Amino acid sequence: MRNSSNNSRIGLFLTSFSLICSGLCCIVDEYILAQLSSNILGNPAQQWPLVIGLMLFATGVGAWLAQFVKEENTLQAFITVELILSFLGGYSPLIIMGAYAYAFLHFKLIFYFISFVIGLLIGFEQPLIATINKKFVGFRSNISMTISLDVLGAAIGTFIWIKFLIGKVEIYHAAFMVTILNLSVALFTYFFLVNNAPTENPKSRRSLIWIGLASLLGLGGMYFSGNFADIAEQQLYTGQIIHKESTPYQRIVMTKHAKTGDVMMFLNGGLQFCSKDENRYHENLVHPAMKYRSITNAENAPLDILVLGGGDGLAVREIRKYKNINSITLVDLDPAVVDLATKNPILMALNDSSLIGDDIKILNPQLPNPSETEVVTMPLLEKDKNGNELLYIIDSVSILHEDAYNFVEDVVSLGKKYDVVFIDFPDPRNESLGKLYSKYFFSRVNLLLKQGGFVAIQASSPVHANHAYLCVGKTMTAAGFEVLPYHDNIPSFNEWGWYLATRQEERLNLHRLAEKLYPLDEFEVETSYLTPKKFFSNTIFGKDIMVNAEEIEISTLSNPKVYHYYVHYGWKIQ
């Protein structure tokens, strides 16, 4: 009697543990595959619901198939499912990365097949647990317990993913951590099976052997996965990977081409810059706006500059060429990008150490007192024509790691204003980025400008993302800006576009001002590519670029049309 009671308690504990682990493993496996999909294919707003939806559908199919397992085979079937799930779940990131690198044409078929099978196995195991559990509790309690513990496991898995996995653990290591949990469930179930078997069961012995082999495969995968992942990821890039890391916000990769020496930075697989032509991009972003502001700044007053994005320091490099700067505020969400820009020798050489200096303040929004700062003390030096070292004449450069949307809201409420605002966000390839190109956001940026102030924004390609490019301009106009579109050829990006904007109440003819710049041979600071003449030519478009302008709708928070245009009419995002 006592033995039967002990077995019941052990069985109830086992099924409770298995249900929680099932929910936990299910949600983490879904997150891993969804994150992997968005890292490789981009467009997380599409990939996350697609992968999770597919896996949930497969879970339903698996739950339906489980009814055909005979009750006397339930424990054995459950162990088998756990072992297959542990193997496939643990190795899935490596298989998927290998498929993308070596079997590109069949990648999607392989990826979605693996996602479906993992979802199927997850769904298959849950009714098996419920069947085992009904031996220890009544029908109604079993249903209630199955649902509540599975949801509890999912909640725990979500918390673990956010707090301890995403951006902190490589995705393939996270997969093998889930494998260990699946193997633990299988091992506990095996010992319970043996303890309750009236006679020695050869099948149970084989199960122990399979558990041992699966454990060895899991440990081996954990140990060798890093090397294989490095090899597979390298196949995705033409240059040699010289730096890579995952943060809570994105995957950062830097490469260097063996023959040309070109350095590239990729964020979530999208090219951020290439060293051979980033000067074309950043000079177009910075110098027209700075020149226009000098025209409206009759008193030559020191300027306050705001840079939203641009954590690589390349835009700030161009801004720091000007001597009448009072302050520069750089707002970039990901501290890892700024950290790389201030510590990586290659990137520091590219940005001329623009984010390192005794006048640089890195504001830490996590500190209880917003006035508290972390200060980088290494001096930033430049040399004059005689080789003498001089400090840049800038009172303050502040670096703030915060969401730009929230920052703009906060600064507007404080009444702070800027002479020039540079917006250097990634393309609006997902809905979270789409809000940064909305009418509401631009209307708040409008309130940040001093009289005679300007905004310069990158707006993707007017050729390859034409609808999205036009949408940015129309949305800014609806938010109270007078805009001047311009474009240039950036070999690494193809044809690229920007907007220069000022408040409509300034009543400035921006194109007429560009015409007045045409006679000038140089800007007031040194540039390696852009001239005033070239800028004027950049403001002229072929008639096919603006042909769809009348049909384009503006982008709002509730209807992010810029994201829709970018995904469905722009670059081929699949």
Q: Which residues are catalytic?
A: 424
* CA-to-CA separations, 402 to 248, 307, 308, 362, 545, in angstroms, rounded: 13, 12, 10, 11, 35
As a whole number of Å, the CA-based R_g of the chain is 29
| CA–CA dist 427, 305 (Å, integer) | 22
Q: Are 51 and 113 in contact (CB under 8 A)?
A: no
DSSP state of 162: I
| Total number of residues shown for the chain | 574
DSSP state of 175: H
- Amino acid occupying residue 38: S
**Strand 360-363 to 396-400 pairing:** parallel
Determine how many CB atoms are found less than 10 A away from the CB of residue 104.
Answer: 11
* CA-to-CA separations, 89 to 165, 261, 330, 428, in angstroms, rounded: 16, 38, 41, 32
- Amino acid occupying residue 394: I
Q: Are 405 and 441 in contact (CB under 8 A)?
A: yes
Nearby residues of 501 by Cβ (< 8 Å), 6 or more positions away = 454, 455, 456, 457, 476, 481, 482, 483, 484, 510
**Strand 494-503 to 481-490 pairing:** antiparallel
| CA–CA dist 381, 298 (Å, integer) | 30
Question: For residue 218, which of 312, 86, 396 has the smallest C-alpha distance?
Answer: 86
Query: Could you write out the DSSP letters of every residue in 288-318?
Result: HHHHHHHHH-TT-PPEEEEEEE-TTSHHHHH
| CA–CA dist 444, 411 (Å, integer) | 9
Helical (H) or strand (E) element with 243: strand 240-246
- The terminus-to-terminus CA distance of the chain in angstroms comes to 62
Partners of 374 in the β-ladder: 362
Q: In the block, which residue shows the tokens 């009348």?
A: 550
Query: Could you write out the DSSP letters of every residue in 513-524?
Result: HHHHHTT-SS-S
| CA–CA dist 197, 489 (Å, integer) | 74
- Amino acid occupying residue 326: N
